[in-house]
């Protein structure tokens, strides 16, 4: 039986699917019922499931842990900003993508990133959320990743040792190497809350290979403008969204209909 690889490019609306490049073999096409020819809207779910299954088969899928991700129960609006994020990060991680969310403190950058992650969690093989305030908090985040990888590979002596080690410096490089392994492309790493003038080089925590997705939140991205695409998060300018946010915060309901004008 032919083992020729097939490349499918599936296009869908941003926010639903984006562009997905999916490799299957001719044998898989014949043996996986419904893999290629799928009718009605179920094809999207099936393709995404098979895409993640490819990562699982390679042993790179880590159970999604959103405990470090900020809560988004009261998230209001920001549809335009979410669309910008999805437009940049719509590929499959097979080449490096870096997105930087910048804006004043308290404007909602972390909430916006968290909303994106929670909405798209099932499309990633692993999600790593790091407190990026300083170099030590990032290292602490890497130590937590080591513990997760030990749970993933309990019989691997290396991850067992790294999950118990006290020297945080020794956990960084092995994790960077794991993120760099061939086929391990569908992870996303979030560096949240970087200071406007970082006291460390965030690049030192990036894998050297051209794969994976990195998202950074920072007060001002002037020092990072060369490493990725920047989306500036400002105050809400849409009256409807602003009122909805105030209503949610106060626990009150909105009465009547408010027209969607922009604040000038």
Q: Strand 126-131 vs strand 229-232: parallel, antiparallel, or unpaired?
A: unpaired
pLDDT band, very low/low/confident/very high, at 161 (cuts 50, 70, 90) = very high
Across residues 143-149, what is the average pLDDT? 95
pLDDT band, very low/low/confident/very high, at 212 (cuts 50, 70, 90) = very high
User: E-assigned strands of 108-222?
Assistant: 126-131, 187-194, 213-218
What is the predicted pLDDT for the residue at 65? 85
- Which of these ranges, 66-80, 148-162, 176-190, 207-221, has the smallest mean pLDDT? 66-80
pTM score: 0.71
Full set of structural domains in the chain with CATH? 5-57 (no CATH), 79-232 (3.40.50.300)
Within 10 A of 120 (CB to CB), how many other CB atoms are there?
A: 18
Q: Is the pLDDT of residue 248 over 50?
A: no
The token pair at 183 is 């086929």
Max mean pLDDT among 30-39, 48-57, 79-88 falls in 79-88
- Which of these ranges, 90-94, 95-99, 102-106, 152-156, has the smallest mean pLDDT? 90-94
Question: Which tens digit of pLDDT belongs to each residue from 61-71?
Answer: 998 888 888 87
Residue that has been written with the tokens 């030192």 in this structure: 204
CA distances in angstroms from 174 to 55, 115, 168, listed in the order given: 19, 29, 11
What is the predicted pLDDT for the residue at 3? 37
For the chain, give the mean pLDDT. Answer: 75
Neighbouring-strand partners of residue 213: 97, 188
Q: Which residue has the higher pLDDT, 86 or 264?
A: 86
What is the predicted pLDDT for the residue at 31? 36
The secondary structure of 220-254 as a DSSP string is --TTTTTTSEEEE-----BHHHHHHHHHHHHTPPP
CA distances in angstroms from 144 to 6, 140, 188, listed in the order given: 38, 7, 15
For the chain, give the longest Cα–Cα distance: 65
Q: Strand 5-11 vs strand 97-102: parallel, antiparallel, or unpaired?
A: unpaired
> d(Cα 245, Cα 257) in Å, to the nearest integer?
15
What is the predicted pLDDT for the residue at 261? 43
* DSSP 8-state symbol, 70: P
């Amino acid at each position: 039986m032919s083992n020729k690889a097939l490349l499918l490019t599936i296009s869908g609306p941003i926010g639903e699917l984006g562009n997905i490049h999916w490799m299957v073999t001719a044998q898989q096409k014949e043996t996986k019922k419904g893999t290629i020819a799928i009718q009605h809207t179920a094809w999207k779910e099936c393709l995404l499931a098979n895409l993640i299954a490819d990562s699982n088969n390679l042993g790179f899928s880590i159970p999604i842990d959103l405990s470090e991700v900020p809560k988004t129960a009261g998230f209001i609006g920001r549809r335009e900003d979410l669309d910008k994020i999805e437009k940049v990060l719509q590929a499959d991680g097979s080449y490096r993508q870096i997105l930087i969310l910048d804006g004043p403190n308290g404007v909602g950058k972390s909430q916006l990133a968290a909303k994106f992650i929670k909405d798209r969690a099932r499309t990633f093989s692993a999600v790593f959320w790091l407190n990026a305030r300083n170099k030590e908090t990032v290292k602490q985040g890497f130590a937590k990743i080591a513990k997760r990888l030990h749970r993933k590979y309990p019989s691997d002596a290396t991850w067992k040792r790294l999950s118990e080690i006290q020297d945080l410096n020794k956990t960084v490089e092995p994790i960077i190497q794991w993120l760099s392994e061939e086929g391990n492309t569908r992870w996303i790493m979030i560096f949240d809350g970087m200071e406007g003038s970082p006291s460390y080089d965030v690049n030192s925590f990036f894998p050297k290979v051209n794969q994976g997705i990195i998202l950074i939140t920072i007060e001002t991205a002037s020092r990072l403008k060369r490493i990725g695409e920047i989306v500036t998060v400002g105050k809400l300018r849409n009256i409807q969204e602003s009122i909805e946010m105030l209503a949610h915060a106060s626990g009150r309901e909105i009465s009547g209909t408010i027209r969607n004008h922009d604040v000038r």
